[in-house]
Structure 1
């Protein structure tokens, strides 16, 4: 009788241990299968993980890019060189999507997207590379080789301003996607500056 009791107690103990193991497995399974909700929360955390520097970068780069796109829009009807037309087209294709992305970030962050034609003068001081209305009028009034030269000289200055803003974002920003965009701007626009300097040297 005692042996039976001992055996039964042992079985209960084994069953209890087995249920504990199963419970542990269950909780680990829930953790692994629950990775998407926790992933979602970390994604939303990264969405809000921005700083004042990220906001300044987005608010400054949107009007900056818009002006570059307006300059590029003049090239098809005014440029004399096929290289300048091609360059302007590439600038527009690169910067239009970035404007949309930057605007999306600001909206997500509950910030105001700069209105069309608006310019943040706190961002666009000396060295920003933004053209004055007079410079834009002068560019619009030119054509052929004169346009090509003016366009490239202005766009070099414009790109240098964007590269400086992007370097500030890389140094001071917190939002990973903004820092990635800043890195891409530095790489692409530095290459375009070299290309325009080369074309100007050939003129």
Structure 2
């Protein structure tokens, strides 16, 4: 977290400490389970794929934490970047404890429909740095809402496949927390005069399967 935050001009030593603690905790919990997940296991795939998904949310949130004028948007961005970077540390801790590299032979989320998973395009990410601040705030909320929907879908899919209790508990926390944040984002969009988003179907589970 400290390296990522410093790269964006933020200096949060405490955030770096939290990330290190999350990685250590994740590794300690992972080591308690007797069977180490194999390279092709659902647990390993989930840790890598969700880490990549979280990384984009962190990048977009750092941009809006720097740029936002609306205190509510700035606070949301800060919460997301700190929480999801700490969770990346936890998942990295699992992989290290399992003796698995942080990156596999395939790129993260290979074979998935990235758009269905809520991943923003490179152009959309770049526009967050150049749009007028008010417009960038609204665009961020819209992108993050879709991103969270994808994250919830990925976590629910994992609950159908992973067996290790710490990974299942983590996936359930993602579902609960990000569903709650979608509600908060909807409220912010309404306050900003945006049309209340219509309910969006969850991503198809087939879009989350690796080829």
Please give the per-residue CA displacement for 1:61-111, whole angstroms capped at 9, x wherever unaligned. 111111111111012331121100000111112111110111111122232
Query: Which residue in 2 is equivalent to 1:54?
Result: 43
Distance 1:103 1:124, change over 3 A: farther
What SS is found at the alignment partner of 2:64? Answer: helix
For 2:33 and 2:43, the matched residues in 1 are separated by 16
Unmatched segments (≥5 aa) in structure 2: 1-30, 193-211
Structure 2 equivalent of residue 20 of structure 1: none
Counterpart selection for 2:61 from 56, 72, 91? 72
- Of residues 105-114 and 61-70 in structure 1, the stretch that sits farther from structure 2 once superposed is 105-114
How many residues are matched? 159
Q: Which runs of 5+ in 1 are unaligned?
A: 1-41
Are the aligned partners of 2:159 and 2:171 in contact in 1 as well (CA < 8 Å)? yes
Task: Give 1:155's aligned residue.
Answer: 144
Specify the alignment match of 1:99 in structure 2: 88
Greater helix fraction, Structure 1 or Structure 2:
1
Shift of the alpha carbon at 1:56? 1.4
- Rounded Cα–Cα distance in structure 1 between residues aligned with 2:100 and 2:112: 16
Contact kept, 8 Å, 2:48 with 2:108, in 1: the verdict is no
TM-score by length of 1: 0.72
Aligned 8 A contact 1:78 1:142 in 2: no
Give the conservation status (yes or no) of the 8 Å contact 1:56–1:123: no
**Offset, 1:49:** 5.5
1:43: which partner in 2?
Answer: 32
Change (3 A) 1:77 1:111: same
Relative to structure 1, the CA distance from residue 67 to residue 99 in structure 2 (aligned partners, 3 Å threshold; closer, same or farther) is same
Equivalent position to 2:162, from 173, 176, 180: 173
Corresponding residue number in structure 2 for 1:17: none
Are 1:137 and 2:113 an aligned pair? no
Residue in structure 1 matched with residue 70 of structure 2 by the alignment: 81
Return the offset for 1:44. Answer: 4.4
